[in-house]
């Protein structure tokens, strides 16, 4: 699903209020290790004209009002944070260019992007930044778009890029030109009053459990009781720690991130998985686990399983574009299975079981209560789950057609997701016919990248 276009812009990220999961990610940053920064790193075949590049971003902020919005916390910290148009929005703050020193290597680029990603957002402004990196060999350049995870998940991010990137190298004089969103005065008191209003509207239905659900329970109390027991059992499984312990080799944690980039032809992954009746995601996760098996064997500390976390999309048809619509699943990754086919089968069965759990969005169910706790306590509770993960991995379908930014063709798109206290966060996006893998490592955990 992609965002729709209207004279008013793209309908992306249009919700005023953060959902509970977004509120958790925003407030968990009371612990710096829990920063939820996402970076899309695009490799460009040339260096865009700077004025055209700036105009492309000015246009994008009119097409996607979220780019001009900042986060407003409700008074007393009660309720969900809200989005409001920044009356002091200044494009000059958000968009800049940097020239890499000679020779402008890819390693130099990744080091610069690491520093960009590790820097905290100014929460008095809209939480995004864009940087054009010039000085790469052969006149090429790179583009980094940094956003806060509370604005969108991986699928929402691809929805955004699909719509703000051009399909032609030449300018399009026929593209819509909406006016900039009007600045508004929206205070923490307004956010607090809005939360109280929502609570008043939803409380009666919450107490009744939903009118339809209550009537069905009265008609068939035996079935209602069985459903409740089944859901309760599922919730216990979803919230329980995976049946494994963290690797002693990956136990270190720090405030630092280190980026790597990998790529390979999509047809190779598709062929390997199709041959064995596995999904692309099964093959991707199985390959990551094989890498960790070889890493542990090379360093003389082999392991059989490791704590692995993956996102499971809970987007439904008709959901608005943007935002976050995912649940997390925590698994005991079968690192020790040496046969690739057997490893794909094992991880595929685990993922299907997790997807089929009635309470798959178990964290989402408790998130409304968690989001109302003080930020330091949120950091401790959420961090207690994510810091135990040796690996978090995500696979997001990307853009398969040629796209351009201010006249430059995007040759690769490497995704770098946040590292919320775990040892490694590895994300794959299929860009065109290439699988682009962005690896975010904690150097205290993975000492030989």
Domain count along the chain = 1
192 pLDDT above the threshold of 70: no
On whether the CB atoms of residues 261 and 109 are closer than 8 A, the answer is no
211 pLDDT above the threshold of 50: no
- Residues 277-308 have pLDDT tens digits of 999 999 999 999 999 999 999 999 999 999 99
347 backbone dihedrals φ, ψ, rounded to 5°: -70, -35
Per DSSP, the three-state class of 399 is coil
pLDDT-wise least confident of 86-100, 111-125, 169-183, 249-263: 169-183
430 backbone dihedrals φ, ψ, rounded to 5°: -90, 110
On whether the CB atoms of residues 10 and 61 are closer than 8 A, the answer is no
CATH code, domain carrying 398: 3.30.559.10
On whether the CB atoms of residues 416 and 38 are closer than 8 A, the answer is yes
Q: What is the DSSP pairing of strand 128-134 with strand 95-99? A: parallel
**Bridge-partner residues for 144, per DSSP?**
41, 131
Residues 6+ apart with CB under 8 A from 131: 95, 96, 97, 98, 116, 143, 144, 146
The token duo for 267 is: 């047809």
- Residues 406-449 have pLDDT tens digits of 999 999 999 999 999 999 999 999 999 999 999 999 999 999 98
When the pLDDT of each residue in the chain is averaged and rounded to a whole number, the result is: 88
Give the residue numbers annotated as catalytic, written as ranges: 149
- Residues 129-156 have pLDDT tens digits of 999 999 999 999 999 999 999 999 999 9
Measuring CA to CA, how many Å separate 205 from each of 12, 197, 208?
A: 29, 14, 5
pLDDT-wise least confident of 40-44, 74-78, 424-428: 74-78
- Tell me the C-alpha distance between 368 and 370, whole Å: 6
The token duo for 347 is: 């991880």
- Residues 367-385 have pLDDT tens digits of 777 767 777 777 777 777 7
Radius of gyration of the chain (CA): 23
Structural domain including 406 reads: 1-449
Over the range 99-116, which residues count as b (16 or more CB within 10 Å of their CB) and which as e? ebeeebeeebbbebbbeb
The token duo for 63 is: 């097409």
Per-position DSSP letters for 195-239, written without gaps between them: HHHHHHHHHHHHHHT-HHHHHHHHH-HHHHHHHHHHHHHHHHHHH
Residues 6+ apart with CB under 8 A from 308: 242, 285, 289, 330, 331, 332, 333, 389, 390, 391, 392, 393
């Amino acid at each position: 699903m992609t965002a729709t276009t209207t004279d008013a812009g793209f309908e992306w990220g249009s919700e005023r209020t953060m959902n509970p999961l977004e509120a958790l990610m925003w407030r968990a940053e009371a612990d710096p290790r829990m920063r939820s920064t996402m970076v899309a790193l695009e490799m460009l075949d040339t260096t865009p004209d700077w004025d055209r590049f700036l105009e492309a971003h000015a246009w994008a902020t009119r097409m996607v009002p979220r780019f001009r919005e900042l986060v407003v916390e409700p008074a007393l910290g009660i309720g969900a944070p809200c989005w409001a148009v920044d009356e002091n929005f200044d494009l000059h703050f958000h968009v800049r260019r940097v020239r890499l020193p000679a020779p402008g290597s890819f390693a130099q680029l990744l080091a610069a992007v690491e520093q960009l990603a590790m820097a905290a957002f100014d929460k008095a402004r809209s939480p995004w930044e864009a940087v054009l990196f010039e000085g790469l060999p052969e006149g090429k350049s790179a583009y980094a778009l940094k956003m806060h995870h509370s604005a969108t998940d991986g699928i929402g991010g691809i929805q955004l890029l699909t719509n703000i990137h051009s399909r032609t190298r030449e300018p399009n004089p026929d593209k819509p030109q909406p006016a900039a969103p009007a600045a508004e005065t929206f205070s923490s008191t307004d956010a607090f009053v809005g939360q109280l209003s929502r609570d008043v509207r939803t409380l009666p239905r919450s107490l009744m459990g939903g009118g339809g659900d209550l009537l069905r329970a009265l008609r068939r109390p035996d079935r209602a009781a069985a459903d409740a027991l089944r859901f309760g059992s599922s919730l216990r499984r979803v919230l329980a720690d995976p049946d494994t312990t963290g690797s002693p080799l990956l136990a270190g944690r720090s405030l630092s991130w280190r980026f790597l980039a990998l790529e390979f032809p999509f047809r190779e992954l598709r062929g390997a998985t199709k041959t064995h009746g596995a999904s692309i995601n099964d093959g991707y996760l199985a390959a990551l686990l094989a890498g960790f098996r070889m890493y542990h064997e090379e360093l003389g500390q082999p392991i059989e399983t490791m704590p692995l976390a993956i996102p499971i999309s809970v987007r439904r048809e008709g959901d608005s574009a943007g935002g976050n619509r995912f649940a997390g699943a925590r698994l005991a990754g079968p690192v020790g299975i040496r046969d690739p086919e057997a490893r794909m089968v094992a991880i595929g069965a685990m993922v299907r079981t997790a997807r089929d759990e009635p309470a798959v969005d178990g964290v989402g169910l408790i998130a409304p209560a968690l989001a109302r706790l003080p930020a330091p306590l949120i950091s401790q509770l959420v961090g207690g789950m994510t810091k135990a993960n040796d690996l978090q991995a995500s696979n997001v379908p990307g853009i398969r057609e040629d796209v351009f930014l201010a006249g430059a063709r995007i040759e690769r798109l490497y995704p770098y997701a946040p590292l919320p206290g775990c040892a490694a966060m590895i994300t794959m996006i299929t860009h065109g016919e290439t699988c682009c893998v962005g690896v975010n490592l904690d150097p205290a955990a993975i000492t030989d990248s």
